[in-house]
Amino acid sequence: MRNRPSETARGAAWVNNFPPEDRRAAELLLNSLRVLSDATFRAKLTDQLAGLVQELPRPIAIYQVRELPNRAVEGFLPLDHPHAPLPGSEGHVGHIIRDVIGSRPDEIRASSPQSLEDLRRVKARTLVLVDDYSGTGNRVAGYLDAWVSSPTIRSWFSYKFIKFHVLLHAVSVSALRVLERNPWVEQVHFSEHAAEFSTARWSTDEATEIRRLCTNHGYKNKFALGYEEAEGLWVMQHTVPNNLPMILWQGRHKSITDWRPFFADRKMSPALQQELGDYRLETRAEEIAVSLRQPRLSHALADQPGATTRLLLLVLAAAARGVRDVRRLSLLFSTPVASAEAAQQACSQLGLLDSAGRLTREGRRELTSARGRASLSLPTRRLIGRDGPYYPWQLRGVEDI
């Protein structure tokens, strides 16, 4: 198990910025961060984009979401305005797009036309706008607005010649809501829900204390809880978003001359990149069961050593409460969407859920039985010539809960 952020040298120094009575809240805030490594980001987003290229109507035009100038510029801003990708998010996403479409793109399949005329010539049916993370939805929505400011694009859209899809590795709950309500967006695709205050498993008192910590020690009220008070907890090795609470990334100031930042200059130091990697705060199965109002199951899970069994039982408990959508399961379990989907499919294959994700008679029986005993034995299939239980391949290597 990786060290928690507060157990690193930089983390310990950061916690000591605060008076003793505030340090517990500071540690809880710091340890609730989710850190995504560049290797994982690149592999996951590449896989996602390649999958969409296979699934969506072709030809497909793919573009990285980028910052556009506010001043008036001649031409079609998203394509005609020259720009140099930034070394952070834009650069990483740009490399992934080029890897997926290849150095000599097949325009019938997927490409990235660099003018409106080229886009017309290609006759793209699907436009995929790609970014690494959205905390508020504003950056993606603003970039999309620049596209539909063109009468030509609006005409193509109104006649259903094109559809816009948004691909993100991670998205906050609020940003997802904003983008799914956007009339121009056909669908938002993402790998995991971004960590934020609303998804942290804090008590009401803990959340109040952490917000007080942020507002009391951040030297700019505008960013005390992050940009637009987004209350983000999501960090990538190549970029530290400004929607994190300011106390995590602020430097020395005339009002705080002895301050040791955790993310100095809004960057992850090489040491932190090695120490934290793909860090996420471990989520205990018992806590998830309690949130599902399953106290007896929570007690049983505390004594259950098998990570796979715990995950399957949580899927059954969620189904009993009407939580069947894999995105909601992902949010509830603090796990990637693919892991939640794999667990749900495994329950279906074991006959515990029906095709709609509802509990079968066998599934209800197992859940009822599990609530009353600590040692659990879900129905399993066995491979010929092997004594151990067989779980569907999707669950092999699934993250522990």
Which pLDDT tens digit goes with each residue over 226-239? Answer: 998 999 999 999 88
For residue 150, pLDDT beyond 90:
yes
The predicted structure's pLDDT at residue 377: 45
- 166-180, 278-292, 334-348 — most confident range: 166-180
Integer Cα distance of 13 and 8 in angstroms: 9
The number of C-alpha atoms within 13 Å of 95 and in the hemisphere containing its C-beta is 11
Q: Would strands 389-390 and 381-382 be described as parallel, antiparallel, or unpaired? A: antiparallel
User: 194 and 135 in contact (C-beta within 8 Å)?
Assistant: yes
* Domain residue ranges in the chain: 5-33+197-276, 38-193, 285-395
Average pLDDT over residues 279-299: 85
Q: What would the pLDDT profile of 209-264 be if each residue is shown by its tens digit?
A: 999 999 999 888 889 999 989 999 999 998 899 999 999 999 876 666 789 999 99
Distances in whole angstroms, Cα of residue 218 to Cα of each of 34, 44, 180, 247: 21, 34, 32, 5
Number of helices and strands (H, E) in the chain?
17, 9
CB 130: neighbour CB atoms within 10 A? Answer: 24
Residues in the chain: 401
Instruction: Name the average pLDDT for the chain.
Output: 87
Q: Is the pTM of this model over 0.95?
A: no
At 398, the pLDDT band (50, 70, 90 cuts) reads very low
Residue written as token pair 């080029």 = 98
CATH of the domain spanning 38-193, picked from 2.60.40, 3.40.50, 2.40.50, 3.40.5 = 3.40.50
> For residues 162, 163, 167 and 170, what is the CA-based torsion angle, rounded to 10 degrees?
160
